[in-house]
Amino acid sequence: MQDYTIFMRRCLELAALGAGKVAPNPMVGAVVVYNGQIIGEGYHERYGEAHAEVNAINNATENGFADKIDQSTIYVSLEPCAHYGKTPPCADLIIRYKIPKVVIGCRDPFKEVDGKGIEKLQAAGIEVVTGILESECREINKRFFTFHTKHRPYIILKWAQTANRKIAAAGTERLLITNEKTNRLVHKWRSEEAGILIGTNTALADNPELTTRLWPGNSPVRLVIDMNLRLPSSLKIFNNHAETIIFNKIKHEQVGNVLFYQITDDLSAAQQIVNALYHLKIQSVIVEGGAVLLQSFIEEKLWDEARVITNTKMKIENGLPAPQLINAVELSADDSTGDLINTFIQAI
């Protein structure tokens, strides 16, 4: 039996290179294989630009193997698209190049594809193999899959705590729990998500900019809960360094790069924000708010992953307790930054 996993792992390695650059599209990698050797490879590099299959086929041509493409197998980590979006259908491209065999990691959950690419290829007489490293292919696009199957963004909760699980001092003094390495890591995390959410008190107390100043990459959309519009325009979240959305109960209007998004009292704020982010096509969000905001998402089961940074050398008395995770499964712990980083997922 042929082992397809070797080339699919290369597809996954290529797909990961698109992290932070292709959303709301998925990360996809593709390789063209002739007689057991890769003759062309590519990945979806940037939103709105060529898909992985296009880049892999072009790369094979550039490498001098144009005459071998119709005798090759193309591997792709996600089902080739079958619709016209920002680019033409990749299934049509594969058919046009007369590639006889396609090996696919997993099916695309997007309603405009969702099996249609596979059907189109098979209808053209192309051999299609599916489900190769399927769980790994789904995992790399967990934000995309969550958005299209659960109709909400992928939600990451993040907080820093002391060794005795306090996230802030009892008074107004700001508590510096993390170190420089961890701060850079948090900015890297921000660059990988579409949005970042905080509450009114965090905005007032910390005056954060919520950008990726310490890491190369795009800054997420800044999402702020300010029900009664108490936040002064002098705060950093109102500068022009990133798009900002203010969730409030007073008005709904666009002012420069700030969208005031009105929500109501008839549904929880967390649920309304999640619904709004889905309609705004914001595919993932990292919640960096205070304990109350974080706990509200936990209690409503509106989270997928929690990243908890613990300063194991710091303890304080009478501080603000950290959120309590419910129905959580621990995935990993990493102390390479000097702080202990635990990652949890919500048990299903």
Residue 70 phi, psi (nearest 5): -80, 5
Instruction: Quickly count: other Cβ atoms within 10 Å of residue 1's Cβ.
Output: 3
Length of the chain: 348
User: Of 252, 197, 193, 199, which Cα lies nearest the Cα of 222?
Assistant: 197
HSE value, Cβ hemisphere, 13 Å, CA-based, for 147: 25
List C-alpha distances in Å: 173 to 95, 263, 311, 318. Answer: 64, 32, 18, 13
CA 338 to chain centre: 25
Do 331 and 345 form a contact (C-beta atoms < 8 A)?
Answer: yes
CA gap 240, 245 in Å, rounded:
12
Closest among 230, 23, 40, 56 to 144, alpha carbons compared: 23
Rounded to an integer, what is the distance from CA 266 to the centroid of its chain?
29
* Residue 53 among the catalytic residues: yes
H-state helical runs in 167-312: 180-191, 200-206, 269-279, 291-299
Catalytic residue among 13, 41, 45, 53: 53
Say how far apart CA 320 and CA 55 lie, in whole Å: 51
Kindly list the catalytic residues. 53
